[in-house]
């Protein structure tokens, strides 16, 4: 027997009330767990809702995606490239020095004496081949970096039954 529109609307209303009740119970549980964590860790609103970078956080990014070099107390950033933003000029006029506005982060990439970013720790150690160095060879002087389209000699060697591992250049 087909249901009437009125019966379907009553059923929808009943289900909506049931969903609201379940949601209210779940929200109460979540809020309770959050309050417990706040109390346990002695968190303050600025710990949760501050937009400024914290120690151990990733380096701040500028709106255009560059790494921030300077930041204001209210979280605005500037990479140090291009025209000085008004907040930076105003801070200087107020007596601050550019050094006072530098972003301090333990995760900022280190730079060598030439100003270039250095690859630190694990990344430098794991780089065993420079870009453009050959990775595969056929034994007759032909090599391939492993990037781009496979050369004919590589495809032919695979067709003959050799594997890519067979063609690897031994690491020093």
Q: Where are the beta strands (DSSP E) in the chain?
A: 70-71, 77-78, 136-137, 143-144
The per-residue pLDDT for 20 is 94
Which bin fits 146, alpha (ψ -120 to 50), beta or left (φ > 0)? left
The answer to whether 46 touches 57, Cβ cutoff 8 Å, is no
For 108-163, write each residue's pLDDT tens digit: 444 455 555 544 444 444 445 566 788 888 888 888 888 888 899 899 999 999 89
Residue 77: exposure state from Cβ atoms within 10 A (0-12, 13-18, ≥19): buried
The per-residue pLDDT for 53 is 45
The pLDDT mean for the chain works out to 79
The answer to whether 66 touches 79, Cβ cutoff 8 Å, is yes
Residues 6+ apart with CB under 8 A from 75: 50, 51, 52
CATH 4.10.430.10 is right for the domain spanning 53-121: yes
Half-sphere exposure in the Cβ direction for 143 (13 Å, CA): 9
Closest by Cα among 165, 166, 164 to 151: 164
Would you say the pTM of this structure is higher than 0.85? no
């Amino acid at each position: 027997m087909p249901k009437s529109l009125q019966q379907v609307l009553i059923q929808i209303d009943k289900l909506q009330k049931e969903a609201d009740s379940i949601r209210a119970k779940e929200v109460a549980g979540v809020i309770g767990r959050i309050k417990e964590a706040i109390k346990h860790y002695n968190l303050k609103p600025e710990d949760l809702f501050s937009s400024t970078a914290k120690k151990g956080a990733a380096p701040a990014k500028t709106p255009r995606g560059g790494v921030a070099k300077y930041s204001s107390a209210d979280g605005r950033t500037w990479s140090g490239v291009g025209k000085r933003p008004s907040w930076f000029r105003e801070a200087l006029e107020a007596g601050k020095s550019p050094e006072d506005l530098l972003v301090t982060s333990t995760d900022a990439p280190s730079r060598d004496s030439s100003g270039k970013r250095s690859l630190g720790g694990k990344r430098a150690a794991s780089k065993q081949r420079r870009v453009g160095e050959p990775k595969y060879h056929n034994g007759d002087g032909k090599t391939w970096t492993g990037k781009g389209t496979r050369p004919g000699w590589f495809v032919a060697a695979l067709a003959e039954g050799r594997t890519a591992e067979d063609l690897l250049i031994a690491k020093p």
